[in-house]
Every structure is written in C-alpha cells, then in structure tokens.
Structure 1
Amino acid sequence: MFEVFLPTSNLMDTKELTRWVKPPQVELEPPLLQPNPKNWIWLLLIAATGIFAAINWEDYVVEKDGKLELAPKRKAKLKKELNEIDNAVQYALIARTAGEYPCLNCGNRKTIYLNVGDVWKYGTTRLGENGRYKSDPIDDRLRFLPEFAGNYAECLKMEKIKIYNYVLLPENQKRKSPIIRPPGNPYDI
C-alpha cells in the first residue's frame, strides 16, 4: 500500500506535512482465460499417449515375483537388435556387367561407365543383403559382395576408409576424369 505526503501550504516547505493521502483502491478483474487451441492439441496428445501406454503396458513390462521386468517380446527384440549391432557387414556393390550406371556424385553427368568388377558403392548393414535391400532392391547388374564382418562401429570405419581411398583405386585412376568416391556413394558416409 502506498502513502503519499502532501504539503498543506508552501510546496517548498517539506517540513510541514500535515496530511496523509492514500491513493484510491482499484480492484482489477482477472483477465478472462481463453482456451488456446495449441494447448488443447498438446493435452490431447499427452492424454492419447497415456491411454496408449496404459493399454499396451503389458507389451513392454510384466510383473514377475513382485518385480517388474521386460516383457518376453521386448527382451527378444532387444536381443535381436544387440546381435545385429555385433554382427554387421561392410560390403561393396560390384558391377556384374560392363555399361552405364547411375552416378550420384559426378556433377553434371548422370551416369558413368563401369567395367565388370568395378565398385559402384560401399556400404554397411546390420541386416545382411536381403534385409538391407528388401524394400529397395539393388540393380540386377550389381553384385552384393561382403568385404568385412565385425560389429557395427568397425564396419562403419571400414566403409569410411574404403570410400575415402576410392580416389586411389586403379579402376578410378584410369578414367579421363577420376571421381572422389564410388558412383553409388553420394557422400563420404
């Protein structure tokens, strides 16, 4: 609460303050809360997630001897994924027949000529050939050739080494215009 001193006579004479004046009390009404549509969307999403989790809880967790543990399906999925990480493959896609192949890093040229046995792409997979190219089959003119097996990190390292060193391969060096990475690798990894 504020209190203001007002002089009764001369404005310069501040010693003679005889009255106290209180400012009028103003009642402020709280602002009306209007629903924000963005907030409702978040609330609906959170509620839906909670309902989904409650319904599917047993797919993730089971109670055994008074303790919670992963559901059998969840344990099996974890084991499968860890196994995939431990058992990856670094591979090359090699030309089976000589001819023009798509080039993803040849600048203005859209294709490049490959001889039989030339590398089109280096890659890494945790799923093997059938799993890696299940939804996007490789060109019939290419052969999947596993080159290194190990855990996923080791295979990624090997892939990177092969992509970077592609520029030095004799098959690339004998081209009129050598390229910096295999034609099927648009990036260094």
Structure 2
Amino acid sequence: MLLDTPVCNFGWPAPDFTLSDPHGIPFTLSEHLGDKGLLVMFICNHCPYVQRIIDRLARDCRQLMAEGVNVVAVMSNDYRDYPADAPDNMVAFARQHNLPFLYLVDEDQRVGRAFGAVCTPDFFGFNAKGELQYRGRLDDARMDDPTQRTPELLNAMRQIAGTGKGPRIQHPSMGCSIKWRD
C-alpha cells in the first residue's frame, strides 16, 4: 500500500530509544543527537521505493556523516511475515549497498510506533536539541530519471546542522506501508 508521510510537526521531541543492529551493536538516540543533529530513517530491504533510492540515500548519508551529522536507519517491519526484512537479510542488504550507517532492528515495533512512522522510507531530521525539523522526501528525482535531482534531505539536514531549523517547505516522502503485527 502506497502512503505519504504527514507534514513535519516542527519542534516535536525525539522519543528516546535503544535498539541494536543485527550483530548486537546498540544505539541509543539520546547519546547520538550530536551538535549537528541526527537523521533517523525508517527503511526496509524489500520495499521497491527503498530499493530505488538506496544508493542515492547511502551517498547522501555518507556526505552528511562526513559533515558531522549523525545518521541511523531503523527497520520496523514484521519480518516474520516479510522474511526479506529479517536481520540476516538486513546485513546482506547493508553490505550490498555499502550503507555507512547503523541499520537497527525494531523487534517489537515500539520505536516505529513511537515515531508515528507510516512508510518506508520515512525520514525524521532532528536538530541538536532533539527537535524535529524535517519530515520530507529524499529528493525530487523522477522514477524514470534519478540523475536529475535536488537532494532535499541532504540540503535540509545541512540547514538543520547550521541553524537548528529545517526548511519550511517540505514535500512528503512516499513509500510502502510499515508492516505492523496484528
């Protein structure tokens, strides 16, 4: 099911969480806000929207991380019903696409629900105080020509890193619905 993300709720406080990657490496949000902010992304392996953007996303995140912005991805899908998203497959997906950020398993889906994540990909850009400043799309690339693009997420996170405030005009991300357990 195709969904769009809601409009950014500027100033919404990031809910703290601790999750681990498939190897057991833990990540705690409050310890990684950083003085230039934090990008939290909800992605998964099997979503065609994520698959189409993943290499551009990895490239943009590499740039952000080099500039001091912290980045983490969370996989909240019910991987028992969607085995392509299982932790072992997350490891393979991260390796295949050379993902530079931690890719965390939201086993009980509490983090996805706390954030109000609706689709993959869903981007949450926080400033250094943990206040939401961006909930938009990766870029404006057309599906048939991803080479011509304005990197909206990259630009927004750079603005947040420099000013603490995100752009007022944001376009929703769209993707596949999060696969919640019943």
What's the TM-score, normalizing by structure 2?
0.27
Structure with higher RCO (Cα < 8 A, 6+ apart):
2
**Structure of higher CA gyration radius:** 1
What's the TM-score, normalizing by structure 1?
0.26
More helix by share: 1
More strand by share: 1
